[in-house]
Amino acid sequence: MKKGIFVVLLSLLLLPLAGCRKSYTVIFDPNGGQIVSGEAVQTVPKGTSASAPVVQYDGYSLEWDKDFSNVMEDMTVTAQWTRIEMDSADLASYVQERTVTVTVDTINGHENAGTGFFIDDQGTILTNYHVIDMGASISVQTQDSGSYDVDKVVDFSPVYDLAILKIDITNNPYLSFSDDEARTGEKVYAVGSALGTLTGSFTEGTVSSTSRTVGPIDCIQMDAAISHGNSGGPVVNSYGDVVGISTYSYSEGENLNLAIKPSMLEQLSMDKNYSVNEFQEWYIKESSRSFSPFDGSSYYYSLVNTYQTVTGASCLLSYDEEGNASTGYHDCCAYYVYDYNADQYDRYVDYLKENGFTFQSSENFSDGISYYYLNEKDGILMDLFVSSDNLQLLILPSI
């Protein structure tokens, strides 16, 4: 028999065998969800149904993309997820479970309280920097009344008013950030420890604007009620996703509240990993290098470094609010006098810009020009006055 005829006959003999396959493999792809029970890979008899595993994805409803009730071939069935909007009662419970109270004992003997929330299942918490400002000890209280000392201050920024903390806990529920920015007119919800004691306070409001800025910080404006103690708390949409971090209120208006956009987290490098004691030491060091601006009646502390710290220049004179001069640099003075040096001046201006100051305006006087730089977040105005003969620089910090 010729070889070609033999191959054809063999193929004809095998054709019936191919149609005699009695079972097929069905693979269930959870597509981001988690299989709670059942098998992801199943071998089922021809013409019968596979048994879908129980799959869970918080906040989503499930549909499978193929019919697997009459299996006639190997197939992969993929989960299709649709977001579920929560009603306000379910949303409150969901967000409260993931929100914490942050309690801080400061280096000057005061106790502060604010809010934070879990951003992963490894005990990582987001809050405002001003909540932990001057912290000598920092602890966290969870919704189930658990209390934890903070292990690490992962990163922080006084300029962007954000801080990342870590406590010794795992498998904790957490909040996710929204893939989309909030929209003007959208319903939002805020959770926080109002007044530092009313934990889990839940309020509803509307986004009034998505384009507010405080210094270098991008914010949304909302009328969801917040108060002292809400700082650092989550602002979420109806799906429970974070669209902002509660931060500011305008006291001169009604329900004019701001929340930092999550995109500002990109400004943090997440690499400090200070212990609370190391954070305290950092703060003390910075405070020794910084000035106290004058508000017309008293002085208050800032983290803005002095001119001589940044540039190495020697302060010639320090003038108090009565106009009395002292040789050298003395904190809590109305203004300071230095020799003018263009390179040093430019270096200090660059430093101010890196730390949240923006140029506002200049003003001409008979004996020189004032250049005004404002840190809107902290309310600090730097008046850099250069004499008309370019020999002297006067620095007048104020709030």
Per-residue pLDDT reduced to its tens digit, 171-200:
999 999 999 999 999 999 999 988 877 888
Average pLDDT, the chain: 91
Instruction: Reply yes or no on whether the pLDDT at 12 is more than 60.
Output: no
Contact between residue 172 and residue 223 where contact means Cβ atoms under 8 Å apart:
no
- Quick one: average pLDDT of 334-354? 97
Domain match, 44 and 139 both: no
Closest by CA position to 331, among listed 377, 390, 395, 268: 395
- Quick one: average pLDDT of 288-300? 86
Predicted local confidence at residue 19, as pLDDT: 53
Domain match, 52 and 110 both: no
- In angstroms, the first-to-last Cα distance of the chain is 105
Predicted local confidence at residue 227, as pLDDT: 87
Domain match, 153 and 215 both: yes
Q: For residues 84 and 115, which has the higher predicted lDDT (pLDDT)?
A: 115
Q: Which of 50, 66, 83 finishes a domain?
A: 83
Q: Is residue 62 part of a domain?
A: yes
- Quick one: average pLDDT of 55-79? 94
pLDDT digits (tens, 9 = 90+) for 110-157: 999 999 999 999 999 999 999 999 999 999 999 888 899 999 999 999
Query: Please, what's the b/e burial string for 43-79 (b: 16 or more CB within 10 A of its CB; e: otherwise)?
Result: eeeeeeebebbebebeebebebeeebeebeeeeebeb
Instruction: Reply yes or no on whether the pLDDT at 9 is more than 90.
Output: no
Closest by CA position to 104, among listed 77, 75, 138, 130: 138
Residues of the chain with pLDDT > 90, as a percent, come to 76
- Quick one: average pLDDT of 256-265? 94
Domain match, 320 and 278 both: no
Residue 221 to residue 236: CA distance in whole angstroms:
13
Name, in order, each residue with C-beta under 8 angstroms of 6's C-beta and a sequence gap of 6 or more: none
Q: Which of 83, 109, 137 finishes a domain?
A: 83
Q: Is residue 51 part of a domain?
A: yes
Contact between residue 292 and residue 304 where contact means Cβ atoms under 8 Å apart:
no
Residue 220 to residue 227: CA distance in whole angstroms:
16
Q: Which of 257, 287, 317 finishes a domain?
A: 287
Domain match, 141 and 111 both: yes
Alpha carbon 42 to chain centroid, angstroms:
43
Instruction: Reply yes or no on whether the pLDDT at 4 is more than 60.
Output: no
Instruction: Reply yes or no on whether the pLDDT at 245 is more than 70.
Output: yes
Predicted local confidence at residue 7, as pLDDT: 45
Q: Is residue 14 part of a domain?
A: no
| Burial group, residue 106, by CB count within 10 angstroms (0-12, 13-18, 19+) | middle
Residue 9 to residue 368: CA distance in whole angstroms:
106
Q: Which domain holds residue 132?
A: 85-287
CATH assignment at residue 113? 2.40.10.120
CA atoms within 13 A on the CB side of 318: 18
Q: Which of 37-41, 84-88, 261-265, 386-390 has the lowest mean pLDDT?
A: 84-88
Q: Is residue 63 part of a domain?
A: yes
pLDDT digits (tens, 9 = 90+) for 303-342: 899 999 999 999 999 999 999 999 999 999 999 999 999 9
Domain match, 187 and 268 both: yes
Name the domain count of the chain: 3
Q: Which of 85-99, 100-114, 223-237, 283-297 has the lowest mean pLDDT?
A: 283-297
pTM for the structure as a whole: 0.76
CA dihedral 383, 384, 387, 388 (to 10 degrees): -90
Q: Are strands 23-29 and 75-83 parallel, antiparallel or unpaired?
A: parallel
Q: Which of 57-66, 88-97, 192-201 has the lowest mean pLDDT?
A: 192-201
Predicted local confidence at residue 194, as pLDDT: 84
Contact between residue 124 and residue 154 where contact means Cβ atoms under 8 Å apart:
yes
